[in-house]
Amino acid sequence: MSRTFGPQFQDDGSVCFTVHALACDRLSLQIEGEHAQEIPMNQTEPGLFMAHVNVPAGTRYWYRVPDGNPRPDPASRFQPEGVHRPSELIDPRSYLWGDGAWKGIAKEAMVLYELHVGTFTQEGTYTAAIERLDELVELGVTAVELMPVAESAGRWNWGYDGTNFFAPRHTFGSPDELRQLIDAAHQKGLAMILDVVYNHFGAEGNYLHPFGGYVSPRHQTVWGDAPNLDSEDSAMMRDYIVANSRYWIEEFHFDGLRLDATHCIIDHSPRHIVGEIGDAFAEMQERLGRELHLIAESNIYDAQLLAPLDADGYGFDAVWCDDFLHAVAAELQPETHMSDRRYLAGEDIDTTLRRGYVFRGAIGVKRRRIPLSEDATPADWRSLIFSIQNHDFVGNHPEGWRLHQVTSHEAQRAAAALMLVLPAMPMLFMGEEFATDSPFYFFADFGDMHLREAVEQGRRREHPQHDWSQVVSCLSPAAFRKSKIGSREQGSSETWKWYRDLLRLRKQWQAAGILTGDHLTAAWDQLWRTALVTYKTDTQAGFAVVRLHPQGEHPEPLTVSIDGKVHMQQGCQTTGDGRFVLGDYAVLVGEGTVSFENR
């Protein structure tokens, strides 16, 4: 029998308040406001407390634990005044959905767009985000990936410090306003993916300790307490995590979840918790009858995550494979290292183009570089998510600089072309498509002074390769305010049109059946600093030639011969006889065949 977490409205109009508290011998429900009262809860079984009360949605309440302190609900659906204040009763049945015909987006058609609700618009709300959805549709995006929305401390936060896993962040709006955003996206043909964090609890506002059973007695993380996933009494917390993964899909109609840092979820149980989440998704996929997507941030290629459940895998649909991002960065910024893994110019982009990844590992298995000579078998490209920028890559730079700011507009457009002509699932980071000049800083708003100091010092310690002497404090209002991406009109129209046209071409190639791993041949020529990507079927052929190199370097011009039609180009001169001379950050994309004449 599955456990229930959080209050549930009953058919007779009453509410059944349910809380799991393994360390408590008594609990009381403290109702605030018009219906103020304190009600002793019944312990129906060890560690499980219940109370039936007639109160309306919108009522605020606490649980009083044995030490006498009132605490928010461990499964609160809303914290309207933040993590330190009472929870609010939410009736999910009150929202009338308009997406009944929605069946989702197939994995092959996914073009992801990662955004932070608070900085995507000036207002920073769920409802304000609705106003920009048409812009994404026009661009060619098919799926939005929200950075975490679980309630975390302070007025602003990236979202990875959540403590109330079931409560959408109050500064963005109400739970029903989040439902409005998802509903509107579906009616415009956009899938919605949510980033969730199951590897730790935020360091401020975690009131779970006195309840018992939620926090690991064995493990700790650098970010905060670890969830209790592998102790003798961990069954409840494991059910809590699985219930949370179901909650976002069933009650909010999200189309999938992206699990943050799966390799950092500490679980030494016989079966890892990600497998149980995989089971839940498989069941929901069959029952709900719409496309669902389970994505892992593994950073490297993890075949076990992607393997089917019946083949001892975890049943995930895709992984964030950052090897592409870092291999591209190694060509554009060889002196800058944004990962604890060292990427090699020339070698690693060639390996990624040929096989899809550089490093391989699994949960609990050491990650290591896999040479092509050891295993040249390509990964399933459809299950790899590639990007050239994401929240970490931009935000972990002290100045929050975007790719075009540390390289050039031409360099970014070349990198984007390479990403979008490959069969991997592409992901854009908000503002990338129009090369916003707004930075994206790391930002948080903790109240605890010791924690504030630890965060500042931790940033410097985690990324010692940067100069931190003259930067905006990640705890300042300015870090949040300056990270708002601004309007498309304030950015580069040339870059926006470039992305739009590439996405249109990508869609055409997909419809024609060209853009698949089976038809792909790709490699890197280090001498000419050029990627050559070709597709060939019995009746069709496509190509892309992309040059990447560090800023300030000017590779020797490369002459190529095209037998076919060029659809898009940058940094090229034509001689009028099918020959093109490729200069800095050159791009040629088209149909037909291509050959290098300088070789």
> If we measure between CA atoms, which residue out of 461, 328, 335, 449 comes closest to residue 398?
461
Q: Is residue 208 part of a domain?
A: no
Could you tell me if 165 and 34 lie in one domain? Answer: no
Q: Is residue 223 part of a domain?
A: no
Residues annotated within a binding site: 258-263, 322-326, 391-396
Q: 72-85, pLDDT tens digit by residue?
A: 999 999 999 999 99
Provide φ and ψ at 458, rounded to 5°.
-65, -35
Whole-number pLDDT of residue 459: 78
- Tell me the average pLDDT of the chain: 95
Q: Does residue 191 share a domain with residue 155?
A: yes
pLDDT, tens digit (0-9, with 9 covering 90-100), for 178-230: 999 999 999 999 999 999 999 999 999 999 999 999 999 999 999 999 999 99
Mean pLDDT of 313-339: 93
Is 385 in contact with 195 (CB distance < 8 Å)?
no
* CATH number of domain containing 583: 2.60.40
Average pLDDT estimate for 361-374: 93
Residue 456 lies inside a defined structural domain of this protein = yes
Contact 64, 199 (CB under 8 A): no
Q: 409 and 329, same structural domain?
A: yes
User: Given a cut of 60, is residue 494 above it in pLDDT?
Assistant: yes
Within-domain flag for 228: no
Query: What's the pLDDT at 215?
Result: 98
Poorest-confidence range of 183-187, 272-276, 466-470? Answer: 466-470
Pick from 359, 366, 434, 431: which is nearest to 395 by CA? 431
Asked if residue 215 belongs to a domain, the reply is: no
260 is a catalytic site residue: yes
Q: Is residue 336 part of a domain?
A: yes
Instruction: Read off the pLDDT of residues 46-59 as tens digits, 9 standing for 90 and up.
Output: 999 999 999 999 99
Beta bridge partners of 162: 152
* Residue 103, in any domain of the structure: no
Does residue 87 share a domain with residue 66? yes
Q: Which member of 151, 297, 350, 410 is catalytic?
A: 297
> What pLDDT is recorded for position 416?
98
Last residue of a domain, which of 93, 124, 151? 93
Same domain membership, residue 64 and residue 191: no
Helix (H) or strand (E) holding 239: helix 235-250
What pLDDT score was predicted for residue 457?
84
Q: What is the pLDDT of residues 82-103, one digit of tens each?
A: 999 999 999 999 999 999 999 9
A 10 A CB-CB count for 572 gives 18
Q: Cα angle at 61 between 58 and 65, to 5 degrees? A: 165
Residues 359 and 406 in one domain: yes
Q: Do residues 442 and 299 share a domain?
A: yes
**How many domains are contained in the chain?**
3
pLDDT class for 337, splitting at 50, 70, 90?
A: confident
pLDDT tens digit sequence for 143-174: 999 999 999 999 999 999 999 999 999 999 99
Domain boundary, last residue among 463, 490, 511: 511
Domain termination residue (choose one: 93, 121, 155): 93
**297 tagged catalytic:** yes
In terms of domains, do 265 and 378 share one?
Answer: yes
Cβ contact 588:572 at 8 Å: yes
Alpha-carbon gap, residue 539 to 534, rounded angstroms: 14
Residue 591 is assigned to a structural domain of this protein: yes
Q: Tell me which residue of 58, 110, 221, 240 sits closest to 164, measured CA to CA.
A: 240
Q: Which domain holds residue 83?
A: 8-93
505 and 543 inside one domain: no
Pair 287, 419 in one domain = yes
Instruction: State the pLDDT confidence band at 43, using cuts at 50, 70 and 90.
Output: very high
**Of residues 230, 260, 291, 331, which has the active-site annotation?**
260
**170 and 77 fall within a common domain:** no
CATH number, domain with residue 15: 2.60.40.10
CA gap 396, 172 in Å, rounded: 23
The annotated binding site for substrate is made up of 258-263, 322-326, 391-396
476 and 548 part of one domain: no
Share of the chain above pLDDT 90, in %: 90
